[in-house]
Amino acid sequence: MEKSLSLSFEEIYQSRPEVLSFAPGRVNIIGEHTDYNLGYVLPAALNLRNYFLASRRKDEKISLWTENFKQAEEFSLQEISFSRKNHWVNYVKGVFWILEKEGFNLHGINAFIWGDIPLDAGLSSSAALEVSVIYGLNTLFELGLDPEKMALLAQKAENDFVGVKCGLMDQFISTLGEKNKALFLDCETLRYELIPLYLENAKLGIVIYDSGVKRELASSEYNKRRFEASSALDILKRYGVKSYKDVDLKMLQERREEMDDVLYKRARHVVSENQRVKKAVEALKNDDFLLLGDLLFLSHESLRDDYEVSCPELDLLYEMAREFSGSLGARLTGAGFGGSGLALVEKSKISDFKEKIIQEVKKRGFIRPRVYKIEIGDGAKAYWLDKEEIQ
């Protein structure tokens, strides 16, 4: 892979790249829409990645090529402005923008971008792009940033430049993930623990179901859900609550009359999802995948009914997994409104599960999805191509 990408870089720029970095996409095992509500999440890094190759220039121009879209973009460090033409470049511009704002001394670069993370599938291709860029720049310009700081800056780039008020989960797992481990993260304190995810030992696999439904409503509805959950929390704060982690379902029920139906449902999802994440951590520590599967089903029901971010195509995965004897659990993953879902399936029955889904999708007249087994991979890395040094 490294050699092929380096040759592609040389074809475009007629020079060799100095640095290669990569960052993975993620699958969130459980803990959806809890990250920006400063709750608990349990993501894992994928073996699908975004790659960033770069070399220094003598001027202040940033020259980019994305192999996925076959598009070139250029901008100057002196004028980093939002692009309405090519949305992908804003994630790159946002990283340069935040680093400049933080006072780092950057220079122009030639860069090549390629990734194998499905786009608009809820697998965090945008965070992987941001993290791969900031890792590459950290190495190329010797900025001295640690992984946690890079995750925070990448999130800030997406919040303040791109304009998506995402939580920290995607950037954090992209930097700190490890092979065959999930990351239990408290999004308020940023305390985290790597939890073994021994799927192979249990003869299980994670199947990703990319519904093919573009998440066209995700940005506006995502911000709306964030506002609704925050509004419900403001009511609870009148009674000494600091965050959703301080709330249980009994306490929430006691304040039911002070909220309208929408705010109550949004709060109920966040509170119950936080509880499910903690139960999932204990399930993984005990290799109790039956319990984990049940929690996945409950998570989807809550996302569908209380947070209202599902769609018929994602509900289909849940329904099929409920009926299929080799499936332990399933739910939508990511922001919802389309994108992807995940299912926990016995390895020996994954092919049958895929075939069953494709048949049912065809019967219902839905878009043909992509269904594939994924592996849990490592977090981001960057290194010099002419050195053995890994950073």
The predicted pLDDT at position 166 comes to 78
- Nearest in space to 204 (alpha carbons), one of 343, 54, 386, 83: 343
Q: Would you say residue 391 has pLDDT above 60? A: no
For 56, the enclosing helix (H) or strand (E) is strand 40-56
Q: What is the mean pLDDT of residues 42-56?
A: 96
The predicted pLDDT at position 26 comes to 93
Q: Which amino acid is at 390?
A: I
Catalytic residues: 170
Instruction: Give the list of residues 6+ apart from residue 72 with CB closer than 8 angstroms, or none.
Output: 63, 64, 65
| Both tokens assigned to 203 | 């003869």
pLDDT tens for 186-244 read 999 999 999 999 999 999 999 999 998 876 655 688 889 999 999 999 999 999 999 99
Local confidence band at 164 (pLDDT 50, 70, 90 cut-offs): confident
The predicted pLDDT at position 272 comes to 98
In this structure, are residues 310 and 301 in contact, taking their beta carbons and an 8 Å threshold? Answer: no
pLDDT tens for 52-82 read 999 999 999 999 999 999 999 999 999 999 9
The predicted pLDDT at position 119 comes to 80
- Binding positions for substrate are 32-35, 222
Mean pLDDT of the chain: 94
Q: Could you give the angle at which helices 125-140 and 88-101 cross, rounded to 10 degrees?
A: 40
Beta bridge partners of 22: 51, 381
DSSP per-residue codes, 164-224: ----SHHHHHHHH--TTEEEEEETTT--EEEEE--TTTTTEEEEEEE-----TTHHHHHHH
pLDDT tens for 315-364 read 999 999 999 999 999 999 988 888 899 999 999 999 999 999 999 999 99
The predicted pLDDT at position 271 comes to 98
Q: Would you say residue 172 has pLDDT above 70? A: yes
Q: Could you give the angle at which helices 147-157 and 88-101 cross, rounded to 10 degrees?
A: 120
Q: 9 burial class (0-12, 13-18, 19+ CB within 10 angstroms)? A: buried
| Both tokens assigned to 12 | 């475009």
In this structure, are residues 53 and 20 in contact, taking their beta carbons and an 8 Å threshold? Answer: yes
In this structure, are residues 35 and 187 in contact, taking their beta carbons and an 8 Å threshold? Answer: yes
Local confidence band at 264 (pLDDT 50, 70, 90 cut-offs): very high
The answer to whether the Cα torsion of 242, 244, 250, 254 is positive or negative is positive
- Binding positions are 32-35, 126, 158, 222
- Binding positions for Mg(2+) are 126, 158
Q: Would you say residue 151 has pLDDT above 60? A: yes
Q: What is the mean pLDDT of residues 373-383?
A: 94
Euclidean distance between CA atoms 266 and 230, whole angstroms: 9
Place of tokens 């990569």: 22
The predicted pLDDT at position 2 comes to 81
- The number of residues making up the chain comes to 391
DSSP E strand stretches across 305-388: 327-333, 340-346, 370-374, 381-384
Q: What is the DSSP letter of 160?
A: I
**Which CA distances in Å does 186 have to 25, 40, 194, 274?**
20, 5, 12, 10
The predicted pLDDT at position 390 comes to 36
For 61, the enclosing helix (H) or strand (E) is strand 61-66
The predicted pLDDT at position 143 comes to 98
Place of tokens 């890395």: 381
Percentage of the residues of the chain whose pLDDT score is greater than 70: 97
Euclidean distance between CA atoms 27 and 341, whole angstroms: 9
In this structure, are residues 145 and 131 in contact, taking their beta carbons and an 8 Å threshold? Answer: no
Alpha carbon 315 to chain centroid, angstroms? 20
Q: 364 burial class (0-12, 13-18, 19+ CB within 10 angstroms)? A: exposed
| Both tokens assigned to 14 | 């007629």
The predicted pLDDT at position 39 comes to 96
How many Cβ atoms from other residues are within 10 Å of residue 4's Cβ? 9
In this structure, are residues 187 and 40 in contact, taking their beta carbons and an 8 Å threshold? Answer: yes
Q: Would you say residue 35 has pLDDT above 70? A: yes
| Both tokens assigned to 299 | 């998570």
How many Cβ atoms from other residues are within 10 Å of residue 237's Cβ? 12
Percentage of the residues of the chain whose pLDDT score is greater than 90: 87
Q: Would you say residue 257 has pLDDT above 70? A: yes
Place of tokens 């029920």: 253
Beta bridge partners of 55: 110
The predicted pLDDT at position 219 comes to 66
**Domains of the chain and any CATH numbers:** 2-197+377-384 (3.30.230.10), 204-374 (3.30.70.890)
The predicted pLDDT at position 214 comes to 78
